[in-house]
């Protein structure tokens, strides 16, 4: 057992709702009280936890750093993500893209034709532009609900492909850009593709990113709309 890894998992688990005692962390991690205190002191020195007397608390940023540390120690990705909030789960997903050389933009808001849109993660690495929706589900969705989620993300990616100002702003307005909608989930058991849209459990995100260049041409994707096209004729028709 990696003691530090198990301690981090217990901290993430127990500090979600605020302050927690050293003793409870020690018991949950099945680590001796003295060693727990020593490791917690080291974590405080590294600004990974805060002490309030004999109690421990973590900020959102500290929880993100702890989660990354746990992953570096080979903790199970789904196990780690299960203790994170939606925002923290999104941080983990963004980190995975960044570690693979993507330029990542989180919570990208834009207005197009008087409608407001938001994309959780836009990850750019020429020629790929992944428009990802992060779903922090703790249970499996019925096929009909998942299909609706995928449909909505396809629509967002389509509009983003038309929004040249936004693509310029994010530095991904390349002539050869392939804009790919994707849905990232916390739980396993979802199909890898639904109507040619990747549905990726967080545990498989690293493999998905590595393999994406190879199968990018076989998934739903969009190219930027040519200025010569009429709005009716080529409003980001999905490429097959």
Domains of the chain: 3-75 (1.10.10.10), 87-218 (3.40.1350.10)
Residue 240 pLDDT:
44
Q: Comparing C-alpha atoms, which of 62, 54, 208, 52 is closest to residue 123?
A: 208
Average pLDDT score over residue span 114-119: 94
Higher pLDDT, residue 187 or 85: 85
Q: For 9-37, what is each residue's pLDDT tens digit?
A: 999 999 988 899 999 999 999 999 999 99
Please state whether the predicted TM-score (pTM) of the whole model is above 0.95: no
Q: For 199-213, what is each residue's pLDDT tens digit?
A: 998 778 889 999 999
The rounded mean pLDDT for the chain is 86
Residue 224 pLDDT:
60
């Amino acid at each position: 057992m990696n003691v530090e890894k198990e301690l981090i998992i217990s901290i993430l688990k127990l500090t979600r709702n605020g302050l927690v005692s050293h003793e409870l962390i020690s018991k949950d991690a099945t680590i001796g009280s003295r060693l727990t205190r020593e490791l917690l002191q080291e974590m405080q020195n590294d600004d990974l936890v805060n002490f309030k007397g004999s109690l421990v608390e973590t900020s959102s940023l500290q929880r993100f750093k702890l989660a990354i540390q746990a992953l570096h120690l080979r903790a199970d990705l789904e196990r780690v993500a299960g203790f994170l909030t939606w925002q923290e789960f999104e941080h983990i997903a963004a980190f995975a893209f960044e570690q693979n050389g993507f330029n990542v933009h989180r919570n990208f808001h834009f207005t197009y034709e008087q409608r407001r849109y938001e994309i959780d993660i836009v990850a750019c690495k020429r020629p790929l532009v992944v428009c990802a929706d992060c779903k922090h589900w703790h249970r499996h969705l019925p096929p009909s609900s998942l299909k609706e989620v995928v449909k909505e993300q396809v629509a967002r990616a389509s509009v983003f492909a038309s929004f040249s100002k936004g693509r310029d702003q994010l530095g991904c307005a390349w002539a050869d850009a392939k804009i790919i909608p994707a849905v990232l989930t916390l739980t396993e058991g979802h199909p890898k593709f639904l109507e040619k849209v990747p549905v990726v459990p967080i545990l498989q995100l690293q493999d998905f990113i590595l393999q994406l260049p190879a199968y990018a041409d076989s998934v739903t994707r969009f190219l930027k709309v040519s200025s010569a096209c009429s709005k009716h004729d080529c409003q980001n028709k999905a490429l097959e």
